[in-house]
């Protein structure tokens, strides 16, 4: 049995154009429109290829009717399945984009010696300076989030390096052992450390074996937020 030859690129282009034209206009294209779409100037060459598509069971022709072309169910199934795949992909992309969180990058924070943040506050930020993350990466509630860029290396054993970003959840209290951003009121500085409340003082501990913890009067410390995620700085 003679094996049917596959469609040529020209024939595939013609078939796809007819399907697309019918979907957009509700009627088939003319012979000249098909030729123009696939860069064929000769109507006889267009007719030859349309005849081949007809012989392959992909197209029906009616010579007595203007624009007398109709894709068969076989051809329609080829392109409808492709259309469904495209629609499915677009839907998946839209859902993924819709699930993105835009988190304001509000400034820098020291993971070392406390430093001032004179240029920005936690409630003031450039709307274009945002960190985008999938909402699936953030557990719990999604409100009250902000990001800070880390300066220094006092938290390197906690896998927080200089230049990384930390995503914070705004909160005014902290449990012992949590990594938090704190405002040291007397010095008007901020720092990133492990927090521990010890009576009337707070112990702030770095995650670097070469550095010692330090103590601050509890009334002089205000928790700004807790680290919930680290975003690595890539070269």
Selection from 66, 63, 82, 88 nearest residue 15 by Cα: 82
Judge whether 154 counts as a catalytic residue: yes
Average pLDDT, the chain: 79
Which of 81, 139, 154, 186 does the annotation list as catalytic? 154
Residue pLDDT, tens place only, 134-193: 777 787 788 888 888 899 899 999 889 898 989 999 999 999 999 999 999 888 888 999
**Under CATH, what is the fold of the domain 9-97?**
Arc Repressor Mutant, subunit A (1.10.10)
Q: How far apart are CA 22 and CA 4, in angstroms?
A: 27
Least confident of 58-72, 106-120, 194-208: 106-120
Given 108, 113, 186, 193, the catalytic residue: 193
What is the structure's pLDDT at 84? 47
CATH architecture of 100-231: Ribbon (2.10)
Q: What angle do CA 78, 83, 86 make, to 5 degrees?
A: 130
Top pLDDT among 196 and 15 is at 196
| pLDDT (0 to 100) of residue 113 | 58
pLDDT in tens, 20-48: 888 777 778 888 888 898 888 888 888 88
pLDDT for res 117 = 45
pLDDT for 82 equals 46
Q: Which residues contact 96 (CB under 8 A, 6 or more apart)?
A: 134
pLDDT band at 99 (very low <50, low <70, confident <90, very high): low
Q: Which of 49-58, 75-84, 97-106, 213-222 comes out lowest in average pLDDT?
A: 75-84
Q: How far apart, in Å, are the Cα atoms of 183 and each of 22, 26, 43, 155, 172?
A: 66, 67, 79, 17, 10
Q: What is the pLDDT of residue 173?
A: 92
Q: What is the pLDDT of residues 4-18, one digit of tens each?
A: 677 888 888 888 888
* pTM for this prediction: 0.54
Q: Is residue 12 annotated as a catalytic residue, yes or no? A: no
pLDDT of amino acid 47: 86
DSSP the chain: -PPPPPPPHHHHHHHHHHHHHHHHHSSPPPHHHHHHHTT---HHHHHHHHHHHHHTTSEEE-TTSTT-EEE-HHHHHHHHHHHHHHHHHHHHHHHHHHTEEEEEEEEEEESSS-B---S--TT---TT-EEEEEGGGS-S--SSEEEEEEESSTTGGGT--TT-EEEEEE-S---TT-EEEEEETTTTEEEEEEEEEETTEEEEE-S-TTS--EEEEGGGEEEEEEEEEEEPPP-
As a whole number of angstroms, the distance between CA 155 and CA 112 comes to 8
Cβ atoms of 15 and 58 closer than 8 Å: yes
Domain ranges of the chain: 9-97, 100-231
With contact defined as beta carbons under 8 Å apart, do 204 and 213 qualify? Answer: yes
Structure confidence at residue 216 (pLDDT): 94
Residue pair 37/13 in contact by the 8 Å Cβ criterion: yes
Given a cut of 90, whether residue 196 has pLDDT beyond it is yes
């Amino acid at each position: 049995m003679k094996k049917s030859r596959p469609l040529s690129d020209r024939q595939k282009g013609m078939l796809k154009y007819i399907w697309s034209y019918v979907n957009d206009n509700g009627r088939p294209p003319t012979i000249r429109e098909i030729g123009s779409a696939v860069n064929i100037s000769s109507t006889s060459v267009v007719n030859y290829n349309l005849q081949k598509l007809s012989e392959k069971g992909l197209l029906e022709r009616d010579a007595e009717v203007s624009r007398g072309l109709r894709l068969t169910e076989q051809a329609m199934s080829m392109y409808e399945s492709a259309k469904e795949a495209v629609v499915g992909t677009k839907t998946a992309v839209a859902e993924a984009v819709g699930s993105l969180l835009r988190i304001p990058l509000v400034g820098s924070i020291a993971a070392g010696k406390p430093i001032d943040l004179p240029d920005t506050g936690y409630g003031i930020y450039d709307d274009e300076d945002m960190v985008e993350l999938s909402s699936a990466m953030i557990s719990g509630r999604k409100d009250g989030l902000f990001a800070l860029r880390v300066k220094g290396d006092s938290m390197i054993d906690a896998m927080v390096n200089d230049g990384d970003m930390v995503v914070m959840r705004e909160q005014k209290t902290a449990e012992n052992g949590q990594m938090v951003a704190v405002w040291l009121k007397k010095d008007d500085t901020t720092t990133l450390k492990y927090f521990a409340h010890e009576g009337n003082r707070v112990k702030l501990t770095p995650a670097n074996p070469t550095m010692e913890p330090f103590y601050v009067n509890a009334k002089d410390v205000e928790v700004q937020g807790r680290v919930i995620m680290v975003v690595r700085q890539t070269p």
